Amino acid sequence: MNTAVDRTGREAGTPYQGPLLDVRDLHVEFVTRDGVARAVNGVNYSVRAGETLAVLGESGSGKSVTAQAVMGILDMPPARIPRGEIRFRGRDMLKMGKDERRRIRGRKIAMIFQDALSALNPVLSVGFQLGEMFRAHHGVSRAEARTKAVELMERVRIPAAKERVNDYPHQFSGGMRQRIMIAMALALEPDLIIADEPTTALDVTVQAQVMDLLAELQAEYNMGLILITHDLGVVADVADKIAVMYAGRIVETAPVHELYARPAHPYTRGLLDSIPRLDQKGQELYAIKGLPPNLLRIPPGCAFNPRCPRAQDVCRAEVPELFPVAEDDGTPLEGRRSACFFWKETLHDR
């Protein structure tokens, strides 16, 4: 076992060997005027200390809603969690009281949002917003919080941190603002960070810098990281494993490089084929036909069947479970699962 698990074990009083975060059969629904939108339909995933899980999916796939449920920041109502467990170090957070839950937020599990300009409070200085973490959780003085804020800003390599600590979010560039978001998440050295599309709002050159910084800090603090994205390019270098989501379900999980090399689900295949490639110059771009399903009316059977080139009758009748994926000779592929009745055929597709 690595050191982080030992550390968590000590803090819990009894040695805890399991994953940091373990989401089991999570269901999230939104009650709307038109009916119940089933945003998350039985998601399972786990993250260990030091591990990076990338959750991939289109908008509406339930990737952000799952993360918000883990974080405990869903607005309930309209959201509700009819079933499932979200275990943090073995304890189901859904059964915790409000106060206990709040003390985990920010301190043990922190979140980085997509658009730092709107996610930061426009009328409070960044130094204040960073220092607030220490004041709320550790009760330090205002002056001490400010000193810590400067340290954090230096930590994420914001130039002239001391001079800029009293500046407001709108006075920073997009990349610097996202660094401040990262600094805020890092403030109390949490065990787990959830980054919801942390680079989507940034320029491509800045994206790489911010991603590198995040990966570096994660390694340094040995944190678990959940990286939510719709951008396959972002995850390739930093993620250990990938979970692909569609219509509120995980349709495929795999170690990152294997998923790229040999997808075992037609949806993943479609996603990979939609990436523009230089050698296809002049050809029309590939796009998965059709649209993601309306969450109020998810089609019966496999939710992807109306758009799937491989769909058979069984796909329209039964919901496929997450089958373990194996080689032709029966050798199981570690960590690989696919929710497709024809995972074997898909694996061989070229």
**Judged by CB, which is closer to another protein: 201, or 302?**
201
Nearer to another protein, 106 or 175 (CB): 106
Compare residues 12 and 124 and give the one whose CB is closer to another protein.
124
Task: Give the residue among 350, 301, 348 at the shortest CA–CA distance from 325.
Answer: 348
Of the pair 103, 162, the CB lying nearest another protein is at: 103
Tell me the C-alpha distance between 321 and 310, whole Å. 17
CA–CA separation, 244 vs 59, rounded Å?
12
Closest CA to 45 of 200, 225, 303, 214: 225
Find out whether 196 and 111 touch, Cβ atoms under 8 Å.
Answer: yes
| Least distance (Å) between residue 253 CB and another protein | 26
Residue 273 burial (10 A CB sphere; 0-12, 13-18, 19+):
middle
The amino acid present at 222, given as its one-letter code, is N
Which H or E run contains 250?
A: strand 249-255
Min dist CB 41 to another protein, Å, is 23
**CB of residue 15 vs another protein: minimum separation in angstroms?**
26
Strand segments (E) across 152-215:
192-196
CB 168 → another protein: shortest distance, Å?
4
Q: Tokens standing for 16?
A: 């805890």
Query: In sequence order, what DSSP letters do the residues of 59-73 get, joined into one string?
Result: TTSSHHHHHHHHHT-
Query: Smallest Cα–Cα separation from 254: which of 6, 33, 53?
Result: 53
Place of tokens 């940034």: 202
How is the beta sheet containing 323-326 ordered, strand by strand? 109-112, 192-196, 224-229, 52-56, 241-246, 249-255, 332-338, 323-326
Rule CB under 8 A: which residues touch another protein?
Answer: 71, 73, 102-107, 110-111, 113, 115, 118-125, 132-133, 136-137, 168, 170-171, 184
Least spacing, CB of residue 181 vs another protein, in Å: 8
CA gap 310, 79 in Å, rounded: 34
CB nearer to another protein: give 104 or 250.
104
Q: Considering the complex, what minimum distance in angstroms separates the CB of residue 75 from another protein?
A: 9
**Minimum separation from the CB atom of position 131 to another protein (A):** 11
Q: Which is nearer to another protein, 27 or 137 (CB)?
A: 137
Give the torsion through C-alpha atoms of 242, 120, 29, 308, to 10 deg. Answer: -40
- CB of residue 39 vs another protein: minimum separation in angstroms? 16
Looking at the Cβ atoms of 98 and 281, the one nearer to another protein is 98
Q: CB-wise, 168 or 323, nearer to another protein?
A: 168
**Closer by beta carbon to another protein, 228 or else 256:** 228
Least spacing, CB of residue 107 vs another protein, in Å: 6
Farthest-apart Cα atoms in the chain, separation: 67
